[in-house]
A and B are shown apart, each in its own frame.
Chain A
Amino acid sequence: MDIFTREQTKSTPWIHFDPQENHLQIKGESYPENSASFYAPMMEWLEEYLNAVSNSNIRVDVELVYFNSSSSKVFMNLFDRLEESARNGIHVEINWMYHEDNDTAFECGEEFQEDLENVVFNLLPIEE
């Protein structure tokens, strides 16, 4: 399987999903006009990757300064899909990184954390 990657734009984050390293990274801001269609290829890649992966530890690093409400729905879908794999015995660790003075980013991370049970979901402050 190939690496899935997208360059950062003003309204979409840098995405780098590496199947060999089992390391998925998202960094930037997310407020595209149509989040569902923008992230559709990423979600398709993820589906294929998770169907093939076995006996691995998956690490997910997410650092989002800001995302709009329709992106929030996509990220919930993303985490729910990882949650499903975690329920089936794959170890998934999600690191939600936020800047210390960004309360919104912290609260958003906390709300995802509250809705997930089987993945390890860490809230990690980035010191200024």
Chain B
Amino acid sequence: MQKEIQNFYHQLQEKGIIFSFSGPISQSLLEGIGQTLKQKMSLEETSTNVIHKVFSIFVELMQNIINYSAQRVTPEEAEQELSYGVLIVGKEEEHFYIISGNYIHEDQKGPLQEKLAKIKSMDKDELKQYYKQQRRLQADDASKGAGLGFIEMARKATHPIEYEIANMENGYNFFVVKAVI
């Protein structure tokens, strides 16, 4: 067992992975990890602007899992709802990256693909205009977020965001998105 875990740990380190989490995600977990992530980056004398960008994308992706993951546990009492997903923060050749993954329902796939394709086709000025336009739209009732998260991510990232959505046998889709800062 020791060998297995040690290998797993070293593999993560070799890949430059600073932080990885898989399982139930909640707002309080986000707050805790977020603080540690900021602390870690500032100890390494990362510039304030990079810290803000990494933290911002981290929050958007964690909250995306919290709000939209199809795999979730809703308690009967008014406790915190838990959503499942995976999130990885790493560093590759001087660039931080964040990857998130979670299951989505079949009916979430189309709108998500459409939105991400649109964002991917835009340059920074177009993204800014799109962000401002969406920010003034009335929120649709089914959405807990503001529909701005991926636009925000694309604006903060230094490379175009990458994503993949794969059909699963269980009728769900697995959605993965990566941002490089």
Binding site for B on A (CB under 8 A): 10-11, 31-36, 66, 68-70, 72-73, 76, 80, 99, 101-105, 111, 115
In contact, A111 and B59 (Cβ under 8 angstroms): no
Stretch of B105-113, B131-139, B161-169 with 4 or more beta carbons under 8 angstroms from chain A: B131-139
In contact, A73 and B135 (Cβ under 8 angstroms): yes
Contact pick for B145, options A69, A103, A105, CB 8 Å: A69
Smallest CB–CB gap between B132 and chain A, Å?
A: 6
Smallest CB–CB gap between A127 and chain B, Å?
A: 15
In contact, A111 and B128 (Cβ under 8 angstroms): yes
Chain B residue at minimum C-beta to C-beta distance from A37 = B144
Smallest CB–CB gap between A52 and chain B, Å?
A: 25
In contact, B152 and A76 (Cβ under 8 angstroms): no
Contact pick for A70, options B35, B55, B148, CB 8 Å: B148
In the assembled complex, the Cα of A68 lies from the Cα of B152 at a distance in Å of 9
Going nearest first, the 7 A-B pairs with the smallest beta carbon separation are A69-B148, A73-B146, A33-B27, A70-B146, A69-B152, A104-B52, A10-B31
In the assembled complex, the Cα of A115 lies from the Cα of B135 at a distance in Å of 11
In contact, A33 and B66 (Cβ under 8 angstroms): yes
In contact, A68 and B60 (Cβ under 8 angstroms): yes
- Given A33-B66, A70-B63, 8 more A-B residue pairs with CB atoms under 8 Å apart are A31-B59, A73-B146, A76-B135, A76-B136, A102-B52, A103-B52, A104-B53, A111-B132
Q: Scoring B residues 112 to 138 as 1 if CB is less than 8 Å from chain A, else 0, what string do you get?
A: 000000000000000010001001100
Smallest CB–CB gap between A31 and chain B, Å?
A: 5
Chain B residue at minimum C-beta to C-beta distance from A34 = B144
In the assembled complex, the Cα of A103 lies from the Cα of B48 at a distance in Å of 9
In contact, A11 and B27 (Cβ under 8 angstroms): yes
In the assembled complex, the Cα of A70 lies from the Cα of B60 at a distance in Å of 9
Chain B residue at minimum C-beta to C-beta distance from A102 = B48
Chain B residue at minimum C-beta to C-beta distance from A111 = B132
Centre residue among A11, A32, A69, A72 by max chain B CB count within 10 A: A69
Smallest CB–CB gap between B42 and chain A, Å?
A: 12
User: A73 and B139 in contact (CB under 8 A), knowing A10-B31, A33-B27, A115-B132?
Assistant: yes
List A contacts of B55 (CB < 8 A): 66
List B contacts of A101 (CB < 8 A): 48-49
